[in-house]
Structure formats: C-alpha cells, structure tokens
Structure 1
C-alpha cells in the first residue's frame, strides 16, 4: 500500500479498512441471501413496495448476520491496527511494545499485551450488547 498510496496514515487506514470490510460484506451478503422467501412473499401479498420489503423485512432479518460480520471485522481491524503500529508508527500500543522490546522491558511488553486484549474484549462486548438489543426479537439458544 505504501507503493500505491505513499508514506503516511492513508495506507495504514486503507489496510485496516480492507481487513474489516471483507468480513462485513460477506456476512451481510449471507444475511441478505438467507432471508426466508416466505417473509418476502408475505410482505408482497400485503402490498409492500420494494423499498418497504427491503427496509421492513430484509434488513431486520439480516441484522444478526451483519452484526456478526461487524464483530469479526472489528477483531480483524484491531489486530491490523496493532500490527500497523508495530511496523510503522510513532505512537500506540504496538509501537510501545516494539520500543520496549529493544530495551528488554518485559513488564511494558506484558502491559501492552494485556491492554490489547482488554481493549479488544471491551470493544467486542460493546458490540455484543448492541447485537442483543438490536436482535431482541430473535430466539436465544
């Protein structure tokens, strides 16, 4: 990406975007194509337009898939952010860990590892709470 976009933040942001985007797109596609045809037909029989079917049937039915894709994308993006910081950044947890590695500062490395894990867990749990609220209608196993 540096060759295509130059040096700076733009290639890093683009790589992070790519890491999250594909999992979100695949999950959304699976959700939309997996909508029960009976629901769409029932909406059509009741006189719903294409827009109404999309907004009131397809999006709510595919929301669980979209949110799972977002959780997967969030994990991929977070890992990519840390990796990008380790390779070519002047600040961030990844940079601090690489800097601590140079001086064999093991406590700083462990604090960085734990911080990365805790921040990732908190972001995942926040998205899980949003998922439970947005899909409260869905049966739980």
Structure 2
C-alpha cells in the first residue's frame, strides 16, 4: 500500500473507513454471518488488530529514506529486491510498533467480545461474576488479563530488540 501509489489510492480509503468502525460494532454482523461459535470472535479480533497494525506499517513504508531507495536503484536493484532488502528492513521498527498496538487492540476486543457474546473465556467469567457480585473473580480476571498482556508485550519488545539491533537507541 505504501510502496505503490495506485495501491495506496485504492486501498488506503477503505482501510481508514473500516478502521473508524469500532470492532465491537461488527460483532452482531459477524455472529449473523459466521455463526455463534469462535469464528465471529476470531474475525473481530483479527479486524481490530490488523487495522491497527496496517497504519503503522504503512507509515513505516512511506518513511523509508529515499536516499536508500535511490542508492539501491543506482546499484541496479529491481523493485522486488528494493522492497525485500531496503523497504522491509527499514520498516521493521514501525511494523513492530504496529504489532504492539494491534496486540492491545486484540486484548481489548477479545475481552469485550467475550463480555457480549461468549460461553467461555475471561470476559465471560467476568460477566458471570458480575451477576453474583463476585468481586474476587473479577479482580483475578483483570489481573490475569494484565499479566498475559504484559507478558506478550515483553515478548514483542524482545523481538524488537533482536530484529532492530542495527538501530540506534536513545
């Protein structure tokens, strides 16, 4: 999308359009079209995390230093080589930020989706605990969500450090 101008003009408005629709608003449509099992949850979580990530990735691609691209062209590199050896590596920090943002969106969406329409999961457990004023279960569920989210974020940070060792850090 960020590499080819025509793809950008065709795809970017649609990405922005769907990004503005809250993922939770899609749940009724997802249930009607995909059924009541896990498929609607997976679809809504994917939608939330993908749309959050794609914007950061797009920004990374368009932010690549033109000097690097021009230098690769002068050395005889074709578009595919430039994309694989210049654009993608230079975009990795942005991509990983997008993945971290997408992870947060995914967690928020999965819990909310389970609160609304699920028969299992932490959100469902919290919903059931609310009916009986079971505060300990609610707190344990919240702490569990926080710990799991923090653990996953730390894994992504470790991947970021490993994949972007070449980058200067402040």
**C-alpha separation between the residues in 2 aligned to 1:104 and 1:51?**
58
1:8 counterpart SS class: coil
TM-score by length of 2: 0.79
Match of 2:140 in 1: 111
Deviation at 1:48, TM superposition (A): 1.3
Deviation at 1:12, TM superposition (A): 1.6
**C-alpha separation between the residues in 1 aligned to 2:167 and 2:107?**
28
Q: How does 1:1-141 map to 2 (within 5 A)?
A: 1-141=30-170
- Please give the per-residue CA displacement for 1:36-79, whole angstroms capped at 9, x wherever unaligned: 00000111111112111111100000010011000000100011
* Range with greater deviation from structure 2 (6-15 or 53-62): 6-15
**C-alpha separation between the residues in 1 aligned to 2:115 and 2:52?**
23
**C-alpha separation between the residues in 2 aligned to 1:71 and 1:17?**
14
Provide the aligned length of Structure 1 versus Structure 2. 141
- Please give the per-residue CA displacement for 1:4-41, whole angstroms capped at 9, x wherever unaligned: 33333222211111101111111111111111000001
For structure 2, the residue ranges without an aligned partner over 5 or more in a row are 1-29
**C-alpha separation between the residues in 1 aligned to 2:115 and 2:168?**
42
For structure 1, the residue ranges without an aligned partner over 5 or more in a row are none
Higher relative contact order (CA 8 A, sep 6+): 1
Over the residues paired in the alignment, what is the CA RMSD in angstroms?
A: 1.1
TM-score by length of 1: 0.95
